Amino acid sequence: MESQYKLHLGNTKNILDEMIDRGEKVGMIFTSPPYFAFRKNYSGNDDGEIGAIHVDDYADWFLEFTDRFLKVLEPNGSFFLNINDKIDNGVVHPVLDELKYKMSKQGWYLVAKPYIWFKKNSMPTNCKYRAIDRYEYVFHFSNSTKPKFRADNCRVEHSEVTKRRLKSEITTINSRDGVYNTKKVTLNEKGALPHNVVITAAESNPSVLHPAPFHVELAEWFVKIGSDVGDTILDPFAGSSTTGVAALKHDRKFIGIDLVEFNINFGRNRIEHLLSTGECYIPKNMLEEYGIDVNYYKVKGKHINNP
Going by the DSSP 8-state scheme, the letter that residue 286 receives in this structure is G
Is residue 258 near ligand SAM by the rule CB under 6 A?
yes
Task: Check residue 50 for interaction with ligand SAM (CB under 6 A).
Answer: yes
Q: Least distance (Å) from ligand SAM to the CB of residue 186?
A: 40
Q: C-beta of 107: minimal distance to ligand SAM in Å?
A: 21
# of chain residues touching ligand SAM (CB under 6 A): 22
Q: How far apart are CA 91 and CA 82, in angstroms?
A: 21
Residue nearest to ligand SAM (CB): 239
Q: How far is Cα 212 from Cα 33, in angstroms, rounded to an integer?
A: 10
| Interaction of residue 242 with ligand SAM, rule CB under 6 A | yes
Residue among 214 and 222 whose Cβ is closer to ligand SAM: 214
φ, ψ of residue 293 in degrees (nearest 5): -80, 100
Contact residue for ligand SAM among 214, 221, 254, 281 (CB under 6 A) = 214
Q: Which is nearer to ligand SAM, 148 or 215 (CB)?
A: 215
C-beta atoms surrounding 220 within 10 Å: 23
Burial of 182 (0-12, 13-18, 19+ CB in 10 A): exposed
What's the residue count for the chain? 307
Check binding of 51 to ligand SAM (CB under 6 A).
Answer: no
Burial class (CB in 10 A: 0-12, 13-18, 19+), 255: buried
- Cα(216)–Cα(231) distance, integer angstroms: 18
| 213 counts as binding ligand SAM under rule CB under 6 A | yes
When asked if residue 20 is in the footprint of ligand SAM (CB under 6 A), the reply is no
The residue ranges that bind ligand SAM (CB under 6 A) are 11-12, 32-34, 48, 50, 210, 212-214, 237, 239-240, 242, 257-260, 263, 305-306
